[in-house]
């Protein structure tokens, strides 16, 4: 039996039957009435009784880290919005137009955990949106959903209509114009915007460009979105799963949230709370599971996913979407927390949706396929990414076909380490995702690559003196 959650019961999946706490065949989309009967919008009512600053402080105290991939503290991000000076009467002043952009693009390969929430509990996201808008003094929210999520778009739009019909959003103000701690209702409008299926729009500024109806090209930063974002106005961008955590934090408090998950083992911010982990690949029971952060990958695979498919041996895993890099065969017990990057030489936890590989997997083919993906999805704005992604794909194809030479391995690593935000050559992190994925695969499975290439020998002529002849 899998280890139980420290909270004693599911939080994000409380209304979504999920192993080992429920049967998947019992799943259904939760309507507004069912959501309210099961405690929904209670946290929103509590939030409205608090000062907006107090709501921000509670989320900041919880150290909720973004579940979209970067792991940046959510409450801290909220504080980056420009401060609002009080009016002459001492009440909060007018913050002007601000926006909340919800990242429901979920285009990272191997990632499908937000889809679970969108499919079956859409009002949990809407409650998180409402609380975030009140806390940050935002009047307009956009849910940017990936173009391929046709069904999820319809579910979300239906839930928004239910929310408007029952006074959650709309002209009267949150909760039918309920009085807030500031002494007046807070009006919020919420809309759905469909993307066109571009991976790059998962990057927050690329998402903003697409929301404005432009090509999804990431922007140069600074200015950062909290200062100049959507339509040039202050904007907060949060992931679906991140916002779905906010209601439980407000309802139960930051101290309650901190008892789940784990503390940092390398001296950084903690990895508190639960996390949805979507497991795919060579396991007996792929799916999305809610676990405490810090769970070992081996425990996730063996206890939740029923072990490796066919009883084969574990060979590796892409721990959090392909851009994060790969865990090697000796890293099966890696802890799935936000410290994973520093401890196991990957870029980070990412979306925490591992793709599992068994002993028969061709890692050269995996590298080639990843290179193909990033070449296709590069927006082309930055030369190192545009050209480097193409070169890497060509090299991986050559190596896979057995036409490469040993010098091609070094050349591929040299190209990879020369592109991305970390060496300071690109605007966004797509190139980093490309190079981390290929670098970690090539370094951790070097022998497989060396077996596929031909030895290359470059003779070196020794000379002595300026007039020596070779």
pLDDT, tens digit, for every residue of 10-26? 999 999 999 999 999 99
Residue 466 has pLDDT above 70, yes or no: no
Residue 464 has pLDDT above 70, yes or no: no
State the virtual CA torsion across 78, 382, 420, 438 in degrees, nearest 10: 120
Residue 445 has pLDDT above 50, yes or no: yes
Residue 386 has pLDDT above 90, yes or no: yes
- Summary count for the chain: helices (H), strands (E): 18, 11
Q: What is the pLDDT of residue 2?
A: 84
Which pair of tokens denotes residue 32? 């507004």
Angle at 390 between CA 377 and CA 379, to 5 degrees: 30
CA distance 321 to 304: 19
Mean predicted lDDT score pLDDT of the chain = 92
Q: What is the pLDDT of residue 3?
A: 85
- DSSP readout, 394-426? HHHHHHHTT--BHHHHHHHHHHHTTSSTTTT--
pLDDT tens, residue by residue, 93-145: 789 999 999 999 999 999 999 999 999 999 999 999 999 999 999 999 999 99
Classify domain 274-358 at the CATH topology level. Ubiquitin-like (UB roll) (3.10.20)
pLDDT tens, residue by residue, 408-430: 999 999 999 999 888 889 999 99
- DSSP readout, 279-294? EEESBSS-EEEEEETT
Residue 461 has pLDDT above 70, yes or no: no
Of the candidates 322, 357, 328, 361, which has an alpha carbon nearest to the alpha carbon of residue 343? 328
Residue 468 has pLDDT above 80, yes or no: no
pLDDT tens, residue by residue, 246-281: 999 999 999 999 999 999 988 889 999 999 999 999
In this prediction, what percent of the chain has a pLDDT beyond 90? 84
Residue range 24-85+96-259 in CATH 3.20.20.100: no
Grade residue 457 by pLDDT with cuts at 50, 70 and 90.
low
CB atoms within 10 A of CB 266: 10
pLDDT tens, residue by residue, 154-175: 999 999 999 999 999 998 999 9
Mean pLDDT of 296-310: 96
In this prediction, what percent of the chain has a pLDDT beyond 70? 96
Contacts of 217 (CB under 8 A, 6+ apart): 200, 206, 209, 379, 381
pLDDT tens, residue by residue, 53-62: 999 999 999 9
Annotated domain spans of the chain: 24-85+96-259, 274-358, 363-467
376-381's contacts with Cβ under 8 Å and 24+ in sequence apart are 377/198, 377/199, 377/200, 377/430, 378/200, 378/430, 378/431, 378/434, 379/198, 379/200, 379/206, 379/215, 379/216, 379/217, 379/218, 379/430, 381/217, 381/218, 381/427
Grade residue 470 by pLDDT with cuts at 50, 70 and 90.
very low
Report whether 98 contacts 138 (CB < 8 A). yes
Residue 1 has pLDDT above 80, yes or no: no
Mean pLDDT of 174-186: 90
Q: What is the pLDDT of residue 100?
A: 97
CATH of domain 363-467: 1.20.1440.230
Phi-psi label, residue 173: left if phi above 0, alpha if psi -120 to 50, beta otherwise: left
Q: What is the pLDDT of residue 462?
A: 57
Q: For residue 102, what are the β-bridge partners?
A: 143, 238
Q: Quick one: angle between helices 406-416 and 430-444, nearest 10?
A: 150
Residue 357 parent element (H or E): strand 355-358
Residue whose token pair is 């192993």: 19
CA distances from 441 to 127, 428, 452 (A): 41, 22, 14
Q: What is the pLDDT of residue 463?
A: 54
Q: Which of 183-187, 289-293, 332-336 has the lowest mean pLDDT?
A: 183-187
CA neighbours within 13 Å on the CB side: how many for 275? 32
Q: What is the pLDDT of residue 460?
A: 60
Which pair of tokens denotes residue 24? 């998947």
Contacts of 349 (CB under 8 A, 6+ apart): 71, 271, 319, 320, 324, 336, 337, 338, 340, 341
């Amino acid at each position: 039996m899998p280890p139980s959650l420290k909270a004693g019961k599911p939080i994000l999946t409380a209304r979504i039957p999920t192993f080992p706490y429920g049967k998947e065949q019992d799943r259904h989309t939760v309507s507004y009435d069912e959501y309210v009967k099961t405690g929904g919008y209670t946290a929103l009512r509590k939030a409205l009784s608090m000062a907006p600053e107090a709501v921000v402080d509670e989320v900041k105290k919880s150290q909720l880290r973004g579940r979209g991939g970067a792991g940046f503290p959510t409450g801290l991000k909220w504080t980056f919005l420009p401060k609002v000076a009080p009016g002459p009467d001492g009440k909060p002043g007018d913050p002007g137009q601000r926006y909340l952009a919800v990242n429901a693009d979920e285009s990272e390969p191997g990632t499908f955990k937000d889809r679970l929430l969108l499919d079956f509990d859409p009002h949990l996201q809407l409650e998180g949106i409402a609380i975030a808008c009140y806390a940050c003094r935002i009047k307009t929210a956009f849910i940017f959903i990936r173009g391929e999520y046709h069904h999820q778009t319809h579910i979300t739009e239906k839930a928004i209509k239910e929310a408007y019909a029952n006074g959650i959003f709309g002209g009267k103000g949150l909760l039918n114009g309920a009085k807030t701690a500031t002494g007046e209702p807070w009006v919020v409008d919420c809309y759905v915007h469909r993307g066109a299926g571009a991976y790059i729009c998962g990057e927050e500024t690329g998402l903003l460009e697409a929301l404005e109806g432009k090509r999804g090209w990431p922007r140069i930063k600074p200015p950062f979105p909290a200062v100049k974002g959507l339509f040039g106005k202050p904007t907060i961008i949060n992931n679906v799963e991140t916002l779905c955590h906010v209601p439980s934090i407000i309802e139960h408090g930051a101290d309650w949230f901190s008892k789940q998950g784990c503390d940092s083992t390398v001296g950084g911010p903690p990895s508190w709370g639960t996390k949805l982990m979507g497991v795919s690949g060579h396991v007996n029971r792929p799916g999305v599971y809610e676990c405490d952060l810090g769970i070992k990958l081996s425990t996730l695979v063996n206890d939740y996913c029923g072990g490796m498919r066919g009883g084969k041996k574990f060979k590796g895993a892409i721990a959090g979407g392909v851009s994060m890099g790969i865990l090697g065969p000796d890293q099966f017990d890696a802890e799935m927390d936000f410290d994973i990057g520093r401890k196991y030489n990957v870029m980070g936890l990412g979306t925490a949706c591992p793709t599992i590989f068994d002993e028969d997997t061709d890692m050269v083919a995996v590298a080639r396929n990843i290179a193909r993906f990033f070449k296709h999805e590069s927006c082309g704005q930055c030369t190192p990414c545009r050209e480097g992604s193409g070169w890497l794909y060509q090299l991986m194809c050559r190596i896979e076909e057995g036409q490469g030479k040993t010098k091609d391995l070094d050349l591929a690593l040299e190209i990879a380490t020369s592109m991305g935000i970390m060496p300071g050559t690109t605007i966004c992190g797509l190139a980093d995702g490309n190079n981390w994925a290929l670098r970690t695969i090539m370094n951790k499975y070097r022998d497989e690559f060396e077996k596929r290439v031909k030895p290359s020998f470059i003779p070196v002529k020794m000379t002595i003196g300026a007039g020596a002849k070779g």
